[in-house]
Every structure is written in structure tokens, then in C-alpha cells.
Amino acid sequence: MRFIEHESTDPRFNLALEEVLFNSLEEGEGYFLLWQNEPSIIVGRFQNTVEEINEGIVREKGIHVIRRISGGGAVYHDLGNLNFTFILRMEDTQKLDYREMTEPVARALQELGAGACYNSRNDLLLDGLKFSGNAQYARKGRFLHHGTILFDSDLDMLGKVLQADPEKYRSKGVKSVRSRVTNVKPFIREGVGLEEFRRHIAAFASDRWTGLRKVPLDDDTRARADKLAEEKYGTWDWNYGISPDFDVRKQCRFDFGKVDIRLRIEKGKIVECRVFGDFFGNGDIGSLEASLKGVSFTLEDVQERVSGIRVGHYIKGLDSKVFAALLFDQMSV
């Protein structure tokens, strides 16, 4: 496995680099990255960006808003936050779980005097407060896991720029983002800075992944990442996209995340479908959305159309029966 540590703090380049490495990964290779972003909001693949951010503050502060290729919820990055990424070849991604990927982080904390635990969403917690959110993406035998570590971030800014979803926080019984997160720094041995913490994580990653070796970022990969950053991650279409008006909106919060389905109906048929949420999933959600186009908006017809689709591939934890039931208020939960 190759350990790439580079100096860029541009979120457009950093997310483009992940995708370039992911798409070019060959058999037997693998990548580990440690990286940082200047102030940014990184939005989950399936989220409606404008509903996740405080647009006024984002504009005022010049904060980047970038969409990533993995699912999950929006997160705030600044230079007090450290990000880590594993990119592997894995035909059966069920063999690798979140805890295996975050082991170097947990071991580094233990070494420095703090013990982390997990919640049901596979976030890492200290004293019941989240300091690390994680997400995964898999496609064609390739597997990407990336996570954030709030080491010494501006938590006040985090609370201001992320537009809280009232339904989300009512359901969890908390009042704000600020009350749910913490930095690592107060929990570890006094005097340890971010660079030393980074070295501890790299050391434990080397223990976990035999043969991990540090390599520079080559010019060809850098050029491809620069190109993708400009053509994709630097565009409004990718980061925001067009969210058309909808006639039907159905949403529900499950244990695995929120699912928000919106339909435009003409003459009794579905002419457009969009699916948003902070769930995890693989593949192109557009394939699931497109499958409903032209279907009569009845429970029977929607059930028939999605019965042959692996809905759980696109929305991890949801099956086709529950997907259809959600659209017609037929949920039994």
C-alpha cells in the first residue's frame, strides 16, 4: 500500500485526487492518504446542498462547498481538522467494515491517553461526543473509505455554517450541532499538536497495513487531479446541481439515515424523481431515479417497477418494498 501525503489544502483538488486514485487503482495496489482542507463544507453525494448549508455565512466567509462521491451527511473542514483515506481493491466489500478502517485512529488516541468508541452510524466518539465522521464508496471491485478527525477545529464556525435539519435533531433529542461534537485535543496528552498526532496515525496505519510505504505524488496523477478539480469539483453543477420543483415529497428518518424522495407528476405519471438524504450507498443514484420515469403514480405500479431493483445497493439499509411504501404513506414503522 502506498502512503501519499501532500501539501494541498484545496478541497477541489483533494477530492479530485481521491477519485483519480480510486479509478486508476490496479490489482494488488492500495493507497493511504492524510490530508487537510482550508475552510470547507463537504456535502454527501446524495444530499441537496442548499438545504445543508447556511448560505449567507458561507458567502460571507468565502467557505468552499464541495460534493464528495460517498454518501452520508455534510461535514465542516478547516485546518484544525485532519482527514484520512484508504483506497483498496476488494471484490467483497462486506469483509471490510468501518471499525477496521478507523483502527489506526482509535489506536493513536489510545496511545495518547484517550479511548474512542463508536455509535450506530459508525462515527467515532469521545465522552459521547462525535469527533470523526466516516463514509465509504465502492464500485467495480474498488473500495474507498474516508473520515474526518476534529483535532482543533473551530466548532463555533462548524455550528454556524452547517444548516441544521430540525427533524434530524429533534429525532436525536439534541438541540444543536455544537452540542454533539468535540475536538480531540482536550482529551489527549497535553502538548501534543496536530503534526505529532498525524505521525501517530501514520505509524499505526503501517502496523495495520503491512508494506505501507510513503511515496510522492507523481506529476501525471497530479495533472489528472487538477483537471478533474477544474472540470467537476470546481463546478456549480456538481456541487449544487439543479433541484427542480416537485409535486410529491416523502421523507423518513431510519436508523441508517434520512431518505427524502421527491417526484414530479404529470398526467398521473412520474416524469422526474430525485432522492436526497444522508444515507450511505453505492453506484449512481441516478439509475434508481431514472427507473421510475414514466411509471404511473400508483402503489402497485411503483412496487412492480422497483421489485427487480436492488434498492439497497443505492440506499444501504432500504429494500424495494419499503421504498415504494414510503411514497404512498404505507410505512408500518
Q: What would the mean pLDDT of 184-192 be, rounded to a whole number?
A: 95
The C-alpha cell 508494506 sits at 211
154-165 tens-digit pLDDT: 999 999 999 655
pLDDT at 95: 65
Domain covering 248-327, topology: Enolase-like; domain 1 (3.30.390)
User: What are the pLDDT digits (tens) for 316-330?
Assistant: 999 999 999 999 877
Q: Which of 82, 201, 199 is nearest to 151 (CA)?
A: 82
CB count within 10 Å of CB 294 equals 11
Q: Which three cell numbers stand for residue 223?
A: 495533472
Specify which residues 33 forms β-bridges with: 4, 85
pLDDT in tens, 8-54: 999 999 999 999 999 999 877 899 999 999 999 999 998 888 788 88
Strands 134-139 and 142-150, sheet pairing:
antiparallel
Q: How many residues does the chain have?
A: 333
Question: What does the block give as the cell for 285?
Answer: 443514484
Nearest of 288, 274, 214 to residue 246 by alpha carbon: 274
Q: Which value, to the nearest 10 degrees, does the dihedral of the CA atoms of residues 116, 122, 127, 128 take? A: -170
Distance of CA 154 to the CA centre of its chain: 20
pLDDT exceeds cutoff 50 at 187: yes
Q: Determine the average pLDDT of the residues in 230-252.
A: 86
Q: Which CATH class is domain 2-239?
A: alpha beta
Q: pTM above 0.85?
A: no
All cell numbers assigned to 113: 491517553
Query: CB under 8 Å to 204, separation ≥6 — which residues?
Result: 103, 104, 105, 107, 108, 111
Residue % of the chain over a pLDDT of 90: 67
Cβ burial of 255 (10 Å; 0-12, 13-18, 19+) is exposed
- What's the average model confidence in pLDDT over 277-293? 92
Residue 150: pLDDT over 70: yes
DSSP code of 296? Answer: B
Sequence ranges of the domains in the chain? 2-239, 248-327
Interatomic CA distance for residues 330 and 333, integer angstroms? 9
Q: Quick count: other Cβ atoms within 10 Å of Cβ 173?
A: 6
In tens, the pLDDT along 49-87 reads 878 888 889 989 999 999 999 998 899 999 999 999 999
